[in-house]
Chains A and B, each alone.
Chain A
């Protein structure tokens, strides 16, 4: 399991994300993970071997390095990227659960042929109902993790700048000793770069959150303004995720007789007949 494995896992989530979510995923993989792997890791590669202290006292080098770098930037970034990308798996799990429910429904209604099963797998889930809440939670967690890690970076390495020289007086160093860090300018450049991309990702997440909330409000106000007049709104209501989920639950527990009707509504065959304008 490496970054490529994570890429494979998360590419599947891409299908059920919003457009902003897809852009966020691309920024994460190209401008953060890829830069980490191909560039940043080699900059920090010799951080300990090239950390030199102006003393011949054995152990002083190790102790001073450990004192000033409790956890290396590279490891912090790796942890940050893993934690930030993982909430997307919540969405993937919820989608898989919904698809499983739909398949079960098809089996119970006797429509378990290959064509319908494939359609369940392929069709894009609308971000509505309980999936909306899962999606919003995942975005909130992403934001939280990004903010927490940026704060940790700031606490551990004040100012995001790498010093050329640090003065160390930990035992067993005699008095105060000058220690020189390897490639401080290059490290500062990459730290600032990763900070900027992290901020871009935070902005994208906030934009996605706002978009989801606005869309949900718009949908709700549309639904409220046409409460129960005519077939169109009734149809719209019938298609809401909560209603669908309730129906599926009812079906699975009671195995009601009006299955064909429900199936027809769920697969939208009637809708196709009604709305096809390009035929």
Chain B
């Protein structure tokens, strides 16, 4: 079970999304997951190995690394991507349930072709509209929460070159040097920017859905 399988699972959701939703899914897979897998993981690959402290005291490096990096950027991004893509499965489950109900209704008459039913596009209205809107809302919440967690944990989005550590068993204060700080800062800002774009897309999709339903309601009355 890896990113490829997640893509296969979410690919199915694509059929029932709005156009903005499809763009969002593409941005997620190409500019976030793919960048994470092909580039970012290598940049952070030697983060602990090449974290060097100016001391021979055994254990000091481990403790200082643990103190300054409670959870690595890569793991946080992986969790963020998993949480952000999962609400789409709510929509997939609702669509599957709607189809199942339709099949049950028409199975006795055998009038509707089962294959046709499978390929028929389900319109986003009624309870499905609520499920879809909730999923977008959760996506926005998760994105915001993770952006805040990043900001809070790493005091801004920049990777320092040098950190000063005085945790036991380091003798006094020790200089520790982070590996590839500029490259890490570049990727952090890139992932932040794409995360911002995804949030904008989600907000736009939310507005679009709300406006569409308001227009429909006003037409009805």
**A residues engaging B (CB < 8 A)?**
3-4, 6-7, 19, 22-23, 26, 29-31, 33-35, 37-39, 42-43, 46, 50, 52-55, 164-165, 178-186, 189-190, 271-272, 275-279
- With contacts A33-B1, A34-B2, A185-B66 known, is A39 near B78, CB below 8 A? yes
Closest to B60 in A: A180
Chain B 172-186 residues near chain A, CB threshold 8 A: none
Beta-carbon contact of A183 and B2 below 8 Å: no
Partner of A46, one of B48, B75, B79: B48
Least Cβ distance of B217 to chain A in Å?
Answer: 29
Beta-carbon contact of B75 and A52 below 8 Å: no
Asked if B49 is at the interface of the complex by the 8 Å CB criterion, the answer is yes
Closest to A31 in B: B82
Beta-carbon contact of A272 and B109 below 8 Å: yes
In the complex, per-residue mask of B113-141: 1 if CB is within 8 Å of any chain A CB, else 0: 00000000000000000000000000000
Chain B 48-97 residues near chain A, CB threshold 8 A: 48-49, 57-59, 61-63, 65-66, 69-72, 74-75, 78-79, 82, 86, 89, 93, 97
Beta-carbon contact of B5 and A4 below 8 Å: yes
Partner of B79, one of A39, A55, A277: A39
**B residues engaging A (CB < 8 A)?**
1-6, 41, 48-49, 57-59, 61-63, 65-66, 69-72, 74-75, 78-79, 82, 86, 89, 93, 97, 105-111, 169
Closest to B62 in A: A180
**Contacts A180-B63, A183-B48 supplied; 7 other A-B pairs, CB < 8 Å:** A33-B1, A37-B2, A39-B74, A54-B59, A54-B169, A180-B58, A185-B71
Do most interface residues of chain A lie in helix, strand or loop, or is the interface mixed?
helix
Beta-carbon contact of A279 and B66 below 8 Å: no
Closest to A278 in B: B109
Beta-carbon contact of B58 and A54 below 8 Å: yes
Kindly list chain A residues whose C-beta atoms are within 8 Å of the C-beta of B71.
185-186, 189
Do most interface residues of chain B lie in helix, strand or loop, or is the interface mixed?
helix
Least Cβ distance of B206 to chain A in Å?
Answer: 24
Interface pairs (10), CB distance under 8 Å = A35-B78, A38-B3, A50-B49, A52-B58, A53-B59, A180-B169, A181-B62, A182-B48, A182-B65, A271-B108
Kindly list chain B residues whose C-beta atoms are within 8 Å of the C-beta of A185.
66, 70-71
Beta-carbon contact of A182 and B62 below 8 Å: yes
Kindly list chain A residues whose C-beta atoms are within 8 Å of the C-beta of B89.
26, 30
Beta-carbon contact of A35 and B2 below 8 Å: no
Beta-carbon contact of B111 and A279 below 8 Å: yes
Q: How far is the CA of A50 from the CA of B63 in the complex (A)?
A: 11
Closest to A35 in B: B82
Kindly list chain A residues whose C-beta atoms are within 8 Å of the C-beta of B69.
183, 186
Q: How far is the CA of A7 from the CA of B37 in the complex (A)?
A: 21
Partner of B66, one of A22, A34, A164: A164
- With contacts A50-B62, A183-B65 known, is A22 near B93, CB below 8 A? yes
Partner of A272, one of B41, B97, B108: B108
Beta-carbon contact of A276 and B75 below 8 Å: no
Beta-carbon contact of A4 and B70 below 8 Å: no
Least Cβ distance of B134 to chain A in Å?
Answer: 16
Q: Which 8 A-B pairs have the closest CB atoms?
A: A180-B59, A185-B70, A180-B62, A54-B58, A33-B1, A3-B1, A276-B108, A39-B78
Kindly list chain B residues whose C-beta atoms are within 8 Å of the C-beta of A277.
108
Q: How far is the CA of A190 from the CA of B71 in the complex (A)?
A: 9
Q: How far is the CA of A4 from the CA of B4 in the complex (A)?
A: 10
Beta-carbon contact of B63 and A164 below 8 Å: yes
- With contacts A186-B71, A278-B106 known, is A165 near B59, CB below 8 A? yes
Which residue among B63, B71, B74 has the maximum number of chain A CB atoms within 10 Å of its CB?
B71
